[in-house]
Amino acid sequence: MRIMDTANPRKTLLKLDESLLSHLPPFSRLAKSQIRVILDQATSKRLDAGVAVFNEGDPADRFYMLLDGYVRVLRITPMGEQVTALHIPSGQLLGIAQALGRDTYPATAVTASDSIVLSWPMRLWDVFVAEYDGFATETRKTIGNRVGEMNTRIVEMATQQVEQRVANALLRLINQTGRKVEGGILIDFPITRQDLSELTATTLHTVSRLLSAWEKQGIVVSKRKEIKVLNPHALVELSQS
């Protein structure tokens, strides 16, 4: 029987079941007993939306597995503006500075929705890599994917116009974090026009105009902090005109 740490609700222990990790790529090749010892070393936390998981430049003392929710990775420009580098959906690792050969976090991670994260002290990273089959190769894959995405976004910024950039950003969002609903695909976490503008290096006003225009054309519908894509194909066309 598990005693909850009621004195410290921020760090409340959930009942951690092996099935939480067993289907996730970095751990999928492991036996139940192995996952058990991994879980026993983990700290779990519930985080509200908009809370920093870690900050750019902080000593990278822990790494994280996002169990539920979404996290966006931010960088601050020299002039103090936020730029969103990418979104991370649940089931992925984050704060994996060690894999990049760093001892500080290269960016800030903020929860985009209510989230649940597991974390381990960074000193366990090398142990995981050495002892757990598939852990290293899977994390390499996700790193590769993220670098790839950031690259294509940089190319977009340099070559495409605003309308095509936000169209592309929306398409990526529905691909990575979209949930099928009645008549379209819904972005699965609260997203403002400000957020979208930070993803596409434009202003919230321009995003607002574009979304309004697209809504009239029946391509999207949006409420406050909510965007649903009705016609992805139309966005694809917009993104390559």
Partner DNA sequence: ACATTAATTATGT
Partner DNA sequence: ACATAATTAATGT
| Residues at the interface with DNA (CB under 7 A) | 161-163, 192-194, 201-206, 208-209, 211-212, 222-225
Enclosing H/E stretch for 229: strand 226-229
The whole-angstrom separation of Cα 9 and Cα 7 is 6
The whole-angstrom separation of Cα 223 and Cα 15 is 36
CB of 179 to DNA, least distance (A): 18
Which is closer to DNA, CB of 124 or CB of 157?
Answer: 157
Residue 144 vs residues 28, 99, 157, 187: alpha-carbon distances, Å: 19, 11, 20, 24
Closest Cα partner for 84 from 210, 232, 193, 8?
Answer: 193
Which is closer to DNA, CB of 111 or CB of 222?
Answer: 222
Which is closer to DNA, CB of 160 or CB of 176?
Answer: 160
CB of 152 to DNA, least distance (A): 18
CB of 76 to DNA, least distance (A): 16
CB of 117 to DNA, least distance (A): 22
At residue 164, what are phi and psi to the nearest 5 degrees?
-75, -35
CB of 43 to DNA, least distance (A): 28
Which is closer to DNA, CB of 6 or CB of 241?
Answer: 241
Contact predicate 146/95, CB 8 Å? no
Which is closer to DNA, CB of 172 or CB of 209?
Answer: 209
